[in-house]
Amino acid sequence: MDTQERLALISSVAEELVTREELEALLAAKKNPVAYDGFEPSGRIHVAQGLMRAHTVNALTKAGCGFIFYVADWHAMANNKMGGDLERIRKVGEYFIEVWRACGMDLEKVRFVWASDLVNDAEYWRLVVRIAMLSTVKRIVRCAQIMGRKESDALSAAQILYPCMQAADIFHMKVDICQLGLDQRKVNILARELAPQLGYPKPVVVSHHMLMGLGTPSAAAGEDKADRVVELKMSKSKPDSAIFMMDAPEEVERKLAKAYCPAAQVAENPVLEYARYLVFPKLQTMELVRPERFGGTVTFASYSELESAYQRGEVHPADLKKAVGESLNEMLLPVRHHFETSSKAAELQRFVQDVTR
């Protein structure tokens, strides 16, 4: 795979590149640049974190990147996830890894690094403090969205420390590519701006799309792109706004049946988003089964075909919801099977169910 092919593959999973020129130069210079994504172990895992993230990571490893998946257990503690109980947070992290094992992430090409290991290094904390020294409190508070918080929230001192830690993670792990969601944009840009002062090269930022929640979108206006993404994305605190990896088939169908999906509307349509970012990248096609009097069964060979047909009013929202639900349930079958047959996975699933009730 030459540089242009690798660039095209990585670009295919990017909502935003900062910058494309820098990524192209990086790929030309390095056969195996280091990319990373990170996550707070914080309860159940939804399809955007599971299926979509597996596809995104596999695209980067196929393009030759060495991939670090950062288990931000200390960050989750600072953000008061699982009541700040580090032991529980670590078990939830193990559960997430087990889900990715089941849904097709190529774990042979992924290295999991735990924040618990980084914090034992004095050099890491030196970086955290230097970043804090070079940043105003106002700038750090603006990064609150990376924690699922708002600038107007009453942040704890630990949550003020969080963005400084996340920026330090990038430099301490010698990351070339920050491959996180668009909701993490502000701290990635902070790292790029501080890199020259800290003596590190600027990381390239490859932000992936954030899947929107299934409910009616907020009418909020006047926000920047990253703020709008945070406003629209699915929320674990609103279970019907997201489909979770362990949802039963009938639960998947129920949530989609009540999802926001205006006829002929493409923009901010969560059901079409599920088709675009989950179904087609994995299955390549989607079959829509309906009676002959309503147009008969049709198979879409690409998302663009589906979108065009929907926009022309040739696909009814109810038919779209049914087709997406059937496709998702097909994709979730291996995950359900793994958690039914693996004693380790089943034990972790029971634990997560207990702590998230």
Domain segments of the chain as ranges: 3-207, 240-355
Amino acid (one-letter) located at 189 = I
Whether the pLDDT of residue 222 is over 50: the answer is no
Across 163-169, average pLDDT: 96
- Residue 351: half-sphere exposure toward Cβ, Cα within 13 Å: 19
The answer on pLDDT for 207 being more than 70 is: yes
pLDDT for res 221: 47
Contact 16, 205 (CB under 8 A): yes
173 pLDDT more than 90: yes
CA angle, residues 55, 57, 62, in degrees to nearest 5: 95
* CATH no. of 3-207: 3.40.50.620
CA distances from 141 to 128, 135, 147 (A): 16, 10, 11
pLDDT (mean) for 135-149: 87
pLDDT at 220 over 70: no
Residue 55, pLDDT above cutoff 50: yes
**φ, ψ at 291 (rounded to 5°):** -60, 155
How do residues 289-305 score in pLDDT, each as one tens digit?
998 988 899 999 999 99
- The per-type count for the chain, helices as H runs and strands as E runs, is 18, 8
Write down the CATH number for the domain with range 240-355: 1.10.240.10
